[in-house]
Amino acid sequence: MSEPMSDSAMKLMVVILDQPELIDDLITGYLDLGVQGATVIESRGMGQIVRQEMPMFAGLASLFPESTGSRMVLSVMPEALIDQVFGLIEELVGALEQSNSAVCFTVPVDQFRGIRH
């Protein structure tokens, strides 16, 4: 059942998860789907910085969603997994078009070298 990572058609999946408490569920889902590695970074959105640290914009703070921080999850994976991963994320946070809970996108990977499982 283990799908080896092929050199062809690899994507970098970037997920910015605005509900840090969901990170365990996301990682569990990644394991389930066969994603064999990811890097998780504690991150902050621009809106959070504007709201908390830039008083000049205090009057317009409501334009930016409140946030307690986010997690950025970076993972290189076969293109064949991408639709399932988007499905997983929507399972966790709801429809991405209607949710402020996550942002995700993919980037083509020209070369990939490093740890393989």
Partner 1 sequence: MKLQSYVAAELTWVMDGAGSCEALLAELAERIAQTVGGDAAALLAALTARERQRPTSTPEGVAFPHAIAEGVTESHVAVVLLGEAVEFDTVRHERCDVVFVLVGPPDAGWLHVRTLARLARICHAGGADRLRLATDDADLYRLLIEEDQRHV
The set of residues, in sequence order, having a beta carbon less than 8 Å from that of 57 and lying 6+ positions away, is: 50, 51
The set of residues, in sequence order, having a beta carbon less than 8 Å from that of 36 and lying 6+ positions away, is: 5, 77, 116, 117
Contact call for residues 105 and 82 (beta carbons, < 8 A):
no
CB of 51 to partner 1, least distance (A): 31
CB of 18 to partner 1, least distance (A): 19
Nearer to partner 1 (CB atom), residue 31 or residue 49: 31
Contact call for residues 107 and 11 (beta carbons, < 8 A):
yes
Nearer to partner 1 (CB atom), residue 113 or residue 117: 117
CB of 100 to partner 1, least distance (A): 21
Contact call for residues 85 and 30 (beta carbons, < 8 A):
yes
Nearer to partner 1 (CB atom), residue 11 or residue 51: 11
CB of 39 to partner 1, least distance (A): 18
Residues that bind partner 1 (CB under 8 A): 1-2, 25, 28-34, 36, 84, 87-88, 91, 117
Nearer to partner 1 (CB atom), residue 52 or residue 84: 84
Interatomic CA distance for residues 100 and 94, integer angstroms: 9
